[in-house]
Amino acid sequence: MSGIGSALLNSLDIGLLLFIIAVGLNIVFGVLNIINFAHGALYMLGAYLAFTLINLAGMPFWAALVLAPIGVAILAVIIDRLLLRYIYDRDIADSLLLTFSVLLIINESVRLIWGSGIQVVEPPSLLAGSINILGGSVAAYSVFVIVIGLVILAGLWYLFNRTRIGRIMRAASLDRDMAEALCINTRLVVTGVFAFGAWLAALGGVIAAPMRAVDPGMGDKIIIESFIVVVIGGLGSFPGALIGALVLGLIHGFGGRYLPDVNLLLPFVGMALVLLFKPNGIMGRSTSL
């Protein structure tokens, strides 16, 4: 039972971290109808900014958790105003090509600034050590990831279902022309949504930094996992992002413990099965959040 409990907690830890990252990709697609290939690079940039603030500037982890995502969101606003604004009404393939170019620019910039080596970010002292839960020992930082993942989940649900800003975002995703007719500044909404998606990606990067190696290839790895999440759950669906992330978390958590030799293949097998029986994902493709 302790092994199963540990695998379950590990699955929840991985799943909720993937949710924080992948839901930003889904929100951007749901509202802007673009697939942001640079999402993984923004995640990586959040991790590197956290490394800089903690290891080089001497700031506490909690300050980096706040400041690094804000910095990436500001960069996203600049990217939107300089580049993406010209392709929102064009074919989705144009957004793929442009955001892939942004990905390459960010990747090379990271190598120039921080080098190609692996950087290490230590978890805060408050979250060092382990906790006994369900008959097994779990890292305190993993419990923190689960808690903050649940907080983000609850906050996003409240944002989309109980606030005026959420209703405006949903209106813009359904019919941008009608939203403009109702005097909604859709240009501001579009920029805000892209920045918000980048903020979520960078937040995931800061949270992941003490758990994973911070290196120039980490963005490429996470964008693949994010696409698996949205394919399993349904592209453009907020509930689908949660379901897809939890499914992938279970695959990693239990596969890593009980099927380590084929664990790297299991996410792709799961994605293939979903595509075979539910081509639009578990929650189907939605044009709204």
Average pLDDT over residues 178-203: 91
Query: Hey, what are 171's tokens?
Result: 């209106």
d(CA 240, CA 234) in angstroms, rounded, equals 5
**Does 135 score more than 70 pLDDT?**
no
CATH topology of domain 2-114+128-277: ABC transporter involved in vitamin B12 uptake, BtuC (1.10.3470)
**Does 146 score more than 80 pLDDT?**
yes
Average pLDDT over residues 86-111: 91
d(CA 249, CA 251) in angstroms, rounded, equals 5
Higher pLDDT, 282 or 76: 76
**Does 85 score more than 90 pLDDT?**
no
What is the model's pTM?
0.92
Q: What are the DSSP calls for 229-265, one per residue?
A: HHHHH-TT-HHHHHHHHHHHHHHHHHHHHH-GGGTTT
Phi/psi-derived region of residue 253, left when phi > 0, alpha when psi is between -120 and 50, beta in every other case: alpha
pLDDT value, residue 43: 97
pLDDT tens digits, residue range 46-72? 999 999 999 999 999 999 999 999 999
Task: Give me the residue spans of the domains in the chain.
Answer: 2-114+128-277
In the chain, % helix, strand, coil (3-state, to 5) comes to 75, 5, 20
**Does 74 score more than 90 pLDDT?**
yes
| CB-based burial, 264-276: b 16+ in 10 Å, e otherwise | eebbeebbeebee
Average pLDDT, the chain: 89
Q: Which of 123, 153, 117 has its CA nearest to residue 243?
A: 153
Tell me, what amino acid is at 192?
G
**Does 222 score more than 90 pLDDT?**
yes
Tell me, what amino acid is at 159?
L
pLDDT value, residue 236: 78
Per-residue pLDDT band for 284 (boundaries 50, 70, 90) equals low
| Percent over 90 (pLDDT), the chain | 57
Average pLDDT over residues 123-152: 87
**Does 137 score more than 80 pLDDT?**
no
Per-residue pLDDT band for 118 (boundaries 50, 70, 90) equals very high
pLDDT value, residue 173: 81
Which residues on adjacent β-strands are paired with residue 136?
Answer: 133
pLDDT value, residue 1: 46
Per-residue pLDDT band for 263 (boundaries 50, 70, 90) equals confident
